[in-house]
Amino acid sequence: MKKILIVDDEDVIRMLYSEELEDEGYDVITTGSGHGLVGLVERERPDLIILDIKMAEHDGLDLLQDIRKEFYNIPVILCSAYSSYKGDLKSIAADYYVVKSADLSELKQKIKMALEGHIPFQSTQE
Amino acid sequence: MHIEENPNDVRAADLIVGIPSYNEANLISYPTQMASEGLIKYFGDKNSVIINCDNNSPDGTRDAFMNTPTEVPKIYLSTPPGVKGKGNNVRNLFKKSCDFGAQAVLVVDADLKSITPRWIKNLGEPLFEDFGFVAPLYVRHKYDGTITNNIAYPMTRSIYGRRVRQPIGGDFGFSGELAEIYLKQGNWTPAVVEFGIDVWMTTTAMCHDIAICQSYMGRPKIHKPKDPGESLGPMFLQVVGTIFDIMTKKVDFWKEVRWSKPTAIFGFGLGEMEMPPPVDVNLERLYDKFQAGFASHDVLWKGVLSANVYKKISEVKTLDFADFEFPANLWAEILIDFAVAYNKGAYDRERIMESLIPLYYGRTCSFVIELEPMTIQQAEELIEDQCIVFERSKPYLLRKWFDRE
């Protein structure tokens, strides 16, 4: 079972995404803060991370850079209520960018694509 | 065989900046000066040299380069008279890199008007960390780089799975180790020794497990932009021909690739984004050249394209200029059909490539029409969406390539 980590400071979003993604057969863990995120990823080794951008105490784009420095090959999907961050070059480091919506079909589709993504011998990219 | 002038008798270098050129006497001094300033400011502890890799230009490029005052020593290196091609120049640079035992090599275009010393820093620094190949990231006008946006980026991304936004950017960095790998490659085709060299370098790095990053240059690429309907012929043939050639040789790699992965980014925090200068595109001319293609190439297209794709392109032909639309998924399938026909060799390859040009004009016309009301950011999103369309076409490529239908 693929493990997905949701990083979002809104309780409602974490609950909604958890329910929907568990129904899809994923093992879901969540955190409401970016504090100690790299350590959490190290411990839990998720197969994919869904990362909010505009959080009360953290900027998801900065957290993305922290994740990339340590775990280059873990797919990260930026998930924000705002589309404007697509213009920030830091967002290029994410696998996909999804604008939040009540309909999670695009998010589910991008999760599938990110988990299926494969390039032969990526040893030096780790 | 080559011509070399090395007045400082340089015999070794940690870091080389190479400037390939042909008839760039009017413009080469500026990137040469900026390269020297960048090397002194950011790599003062390294043993550096700037090399102009020229095609024996008759316009005085050599004098313009050698007479540019720089703190860093310079070498003029040229192919013999009559031997042309950017790829030949870059191959001379690879050889010189190996001779000098260089750790890192940077390549910048000779016609660059917007290069700053920081470009040298951002292309070079990742090579002294963990990366073996550095591609540039810069803001370009939404109409600039139509071969990049409609062919080179979506094809390299969807085929090899690595997202390198400017695979034919012209400005690169690579490690000395990668220079040796490049030099050992046997596929120096006539297209690679000319403008095919950029996409060849990028895809060779992708296929050799080289750690790649993209480096933000901080300023737009300002050089000699061209109207895509006016003067892209040879460059188009060489770039696309090289993409098709490499597909044939690297099939064992790319057949395993699914979707795509982002590439590491270097060089944030460079301040306010500067807007690139406008690029004019003559849309009517693109439309007319697309329509004219049916008269010249219809028979070949019927043979190269699958029946369904040919039917769809025939529908596009019936659209007036005011309603013209050439969908991205049709364009992806056309490129796949052409790549497959090129690989199978059922038709003369030059004829295949020539006949692709009017279709490229048609897609470019539609793409520019779609971009017209958009900001640069919206245009980037459209290009990303097109890349997903190409990635979704991968099963079609696999079916066609391996005759599974």
Residue A70: closest C-alpha in chain B: B264
Whether residues B241 and B370 fall in one domain = no
What pLDDT is attached to residue A47?
Answer: 98
Strand spans (E) along B211-298: 212-216, 264-266
Does B138 fall in a domain? yes
Return d(Cα B331, Cα B389) in angstroms, integer: 10
Look-up of token digits 């497959």? B340
pLDDT digits 0-9 by tens, B116-156: 999 999 999 999 998 999 999 988 889 888 999 999 999 99
Number of domains in chain B: 2
Please state which of the ranges A47-61, A63-77, B192-206, B264-278 shows the lowest mean pLDDT: B264-278
Token couple for A30? 């969540």
Token couple for B190? 């006539």
Whether residues B235 and B292 fall in one domain = no
pLDDT of A123 > 90? The answer is no
Does B12 fall in a domain? yes
Whether residues B28 and B158 fall in one domain = yes
Average pLDDT over residues A2-11: 97
Does B278 fall in a domain? no
Is the CB of B257 less than 8 angstroms away from the CB of A113? Answer: no
pLDDT digits 0-9 by tens, B23-43: 999 999 999 999 999 999 999
Partner residue opposite A93 with nearest CB, options B160, B165, B264: B264
pLDDT of A125 > 60? The answer is no
pLDDT of B396 > 70? The answer is yes
Token couple for A47? 């197969």
Whether residues B187 and B325 fall in one domain = no
What pLDDT is attached to residue B273?
Answer: 66
| The last residue of a domain, from among B224, B241, B266 | B266
Average pLDDT over residues B72-76: 98
pLDDT of B83 > 50? The answer is yes
Token couple for B320? 């007036």
What pLDDT is attached to residue B225?
Answer: 58
Return d(Cα A67, Cα A38) in angstroms, integer: 6
Rg (CA), chain B: 21
Angstrom distances, CA of residue B360 to CA of B119, B304, B317:
32, 15, 13
Is the CB of A117 less than 8 angstroms away from the CB of B261? Answer: yes
Whether residues B297 and B326 fall in one domain = yes
Question: CB of B42 within 8 A of CB of B51?
Answer: no
ipTM score of complex: 0.89
Whether residues B105 and B160 fall in one domain = yes
Whether residues B165 and B307 fall in one domain = no
Does B276 fall in a domain? no
Query: Which residues in chain A are closer than 8 Å to B160, comparing Cβ atoms?
Result: 119
State which amino acid sits at residue B358. P
Selected for mutation to probe chain A from B210, B261, B377, B388 (highest A CB count within 10 Å) is B261
Is the CB of B259 less than 8 angstroms away from the CB of A114? Answer: yes
pLDDT digits 0-9 by tens, B176-191: 999 999 999 988 999 9
Backbone angles phi, psi at B357, to 5 degrees: -60, -50
Token couple for A68? 């990339």
Whether residues B251 and B298 fall in one domain = no
Whether residues B377 and B338 fall in one domain = yes
| The last residue of a domain, from among B213, B238, B266 | B266
Helix (H) or strand (E) holding B104: strand B104-107
Whether residues B303 and B240 fall in one domain = no
Does B13 fall in a domain? yes
Q: Find the domain containing B156 and state its range.
A: 3-266
- Exposure letters A13-22 (e unless 16+ CB within 10 A, then b): bbebbbeebe
pLDDT digits 0-9 by tens, A83-114: 999 888 889 999 999 999 999 999 999 999 99
pLDDT category of residue B337 using cuts at 50, 70 and 90: very high
Is the CB of B268 less than 8 angstroms away from the CB of A113? Answer: no
Partner residue opposite B381 with nearest CB, options A86, A93, A116: A86
As a whole number, the mean pLDDT across chain B is 94
Interacting residues of B350 by C-beta distance below 8 A, sequence separation 6+: none
Does B272 fall in a domain? no
Residue B329, classified by CB atoms within 10 Å of its CB into exposed (0-12), middle (13-18) or buried (19+), is middle
Average pLDDT over residues B270-293: 85
Whether residues B251 and B355 fall in one domain = no
What pLDDT is attached to residue A9?
Answer: 97
Helix (H) or strand (E) holding B71: none
Token couple for B405? 């239908």
Average pLDDT over residues B191-215: 96
Interacting residues of B272 by C-beta distance below 8 A, sequence separation 6+: none
What pLDDT is attached to residue B139?
Answer: 83
Interacting residues of B354 by C-beta distance below 8 A, sequence separation 6+: B237, B297
pLDDT category of residue A41 using cuts at 50, 70 and 90: very high
SS3 letters across chain A: CCEEEEECCCHHHHHHHHHHHHHCCCEEEEECCCCCHHHHHHHHCCCEEEECCECCCCEHHHHHHHHHHHCCCCCEEEEECCCHHHHCHHHHHCCEEEECCCCCHHHHHHHHHHHHCECCCCHHHC
Query: Please, which residues bridge with residue B135 across strands?
Result: B214
Does B78 fall in a domain? yes
Residue among A44, A65, A43 at smallest CA distance from B264: A65
| The last residue of a domain, from among B232, B266, B300 | B266
Return d(Cα B17, Cα B129) in angstroms, integer: 18
Question: CB of B219 within 8 A of CB of B116?
Answer: yes
Return d(Cα B333, Cα B311) in angstroms, integer: 12
Structural domains of chain A, ranges and CATH numbers in brackets: 3-103 (3.40.50.2300)
Query: Please, which residues bridge with residue A97 across strands?
Result: A78
pLDDT of A126 > 50? The answer is no
Does B274 fall in a domain? no
Average pLDDT over residues B56-69: 98
pLDDT of A124 > 70? The answer is no
Average pLDDT over residues B227-248: 85
Q: What is the CATH number of the domain that holds B106?
A: 3.90.550.10
Return d(Cα B26, Cα B112) in angstroms, integer: 11
Selected for mutation to probe chain A from B265, B378, B398 (highest A CB count within 10 Å) is B265
Residue among B319, B320, B342, B322 at smallest CA distance from B330: B319
What pLDDT is attached to residue B1?
Answer: 64
Token couple for B187? 């596929």
Those residues of chain A whose CB sits closer than 8 Å to some CB in chain B are 68, 72-73, 75, 86-87, 89-90, 92-95, 113-114, 116-125
Look-up of token digits 């490659």? B185
Whether residues B262 and B117 fall in one domain = yes
pLDDT category of residue B227 using cuts at 50, 70 and 90: low
Partner residue opposite A87 with nearest CB, options B262, B264, B377: B377
- Exposure letters B54-88 (e unless 16+ CB within 10 A, then b): bbbbeeebbebbeebebebbbbbbbbeeeeebbbb
Return d(Cα B133, Cα B19) in angstroms, integer: 17
Return d(Cα B167, Cα B350) in angstroms, integer: 23
